[in-house]
Amino acid sequence: MSRRVLITGASVAGNAAAFWLGRAGFDVTVVERAAEFRGGGQNVDVRGVGREVMRRMGLERAALECGTGEEGTAWIDGRGQVVARFATADIDGDGPTAEMEILRGDLAHLLYEAARTHAAFRFGDRVRRIEQDAEGATVGFAGGRTERYDGVIVAEGVGSSTRESVFPGENDPRWMDLTIAYLTIPRTADDDRMWRWYNATEGRGVSLRPDRHGTTRAMLMIQQPPGGEQDWPPDRQKAFLRTRFADAGWEAPRVLAALDETDDFYFDVLRQVRMKTWSKGRVVLTGDAAWCVTPLAGIGTTLALTGPYVLAGEMARNGDVVGAFAAYERAMRPMVSKAQGVPKIAPRLMNPHSRLGIRLLHTALHVASNPSLRNLAARAFARPPVVPDLSPYRAMETVRLESPSLSH
């Protein structure tokens, strides 16, 4: 039997896993419920060990060339004036803006184009059921197929339905008390190459970020406990935003006016995925389905690249699928645990509710942006993670394996 692997989800983590496993000689199929490859999405950054994985894929230079062109981060007051500025050119290493800033869709597309030479992609389908035994997993698809695999990798999002079917009731989310809406809006002549962040009272925030597509990426943020808003239909979510941001000031009216025009609207109530284990028999989780650390951690995309690389490396060098999954978890747990350690007070500190709180935040940021302090302050935005040892997986990069099927 060939080493057949199914991957569910064709975004960053799924495409990265497909690339490495296909290159290592596995028979890989990626199933994605969307009818075609999905681009779009907002800014993500790749740092540290994630850059190393991109380098090993031969995609680091291409990712930099596809970057958003963001030149730093600036906090804006109610008059539209800059109160603190962290320009990438003035910082040694990564700060709030990393050197590799790229749109999620552009990064996923780079990975998809690289992976499709090693793997088969099936769009417009999804997993309906998974039945396991000692020899493998039988997967039933919504499109009517039933197929047999040696292993199944779930690389879906924070609300993964496949994860819930295999690990029912085992996700214990940690809610981060922050709601964010993302959308793409028309660019204006006043938009520069900085990530501009504005705070309004009641825990509200508006931010605008540049891209290389002639548009601007906008975020509306509210610091508040969760109320199930992520499950509302988009029309209700948009009405909620219009009410909450009606008097927010700065560029809020411009962003609200674009709500009905954008075709790239995403609304989420941030929560971490916390699983006691990432595998069960022949099924393993990776990316946000396994550990969603939320954008607050600053390394979600780095994890989405590193986790699949480690998983593929362990599967390539270990003929026992259960042992490979366990080794992958041992290698990645420390990095994920540290990333999930973001204190819940952080969203409140960065999204004050009172005018006094905003003044204190702006004063602290202004002091931190002083040339004598900004490199130290920048490191606070880019906490170095605990990274796994990647050296055992070097062989996977150059050798196409022809070993027998994974066994139990």
Q: Global pTM?
A: 0.92
| Interval 2-33: pLDDT, tens | 589 999 999 999 999 999 999 999 999 999 99
| Interval 229-284: pLDDT, tens | 999 999 999 999 999 999 999 999 999 999 999 989 999 999 999 999 999 999 99
| Interval 129-184: pLDDT, tens | 999 998 999 999 999 999 999 999 999 999 999 999 999 999 999 999 999 999 99
Structure tokens at 331: 């290698």
| Interval 294-345: pLDDT, tens | 999 889 999 999 999 999 999 999 888 999 999 999 999 999 999 999 999 9
CATH H superfamily, domain 4-74+102-173+272-342+389-398? FAD/NAD(P)-binding domain (3.50.50.60)
Classify residue 169 as left (phi > 0), alpha (psi -120 to 50) or beta. Answer: left
pLDDT score, position 112: 97
Of the candidates 153, 161, 160, 183, the one whose C-alpha atom is nearest the C-alpha of residue 292 is: 160
**What average pLDDT does this structure show over 284-291?**
98
In the chain, which residues fall in CATH 3.50.50.60?
A: 4-74+102-173+272-342+389-398
pLDDT score, position 38: 85
In the chain, which residues fall in CATH 3.30.9.30?
A: 175-269
**In the structure, how many helices (H) and strands (E) does the chain have?**
14, 18
User: Could you name the CATH architecture of 175-269?
Assistant: 2-Layer Sandwich (3.30)
Characterize the bridge pairing of strands 137-141 and 146-149: antiparallel
Place of tokens 């599967």: 315
pLDDT score, position 376: 63
Residue 343: other Cβ atoms inside 10 A: 10
Phi then psi dihedrals of residue 85, to 5 deg: -140, 130
Report DSSP state, residue 297: G
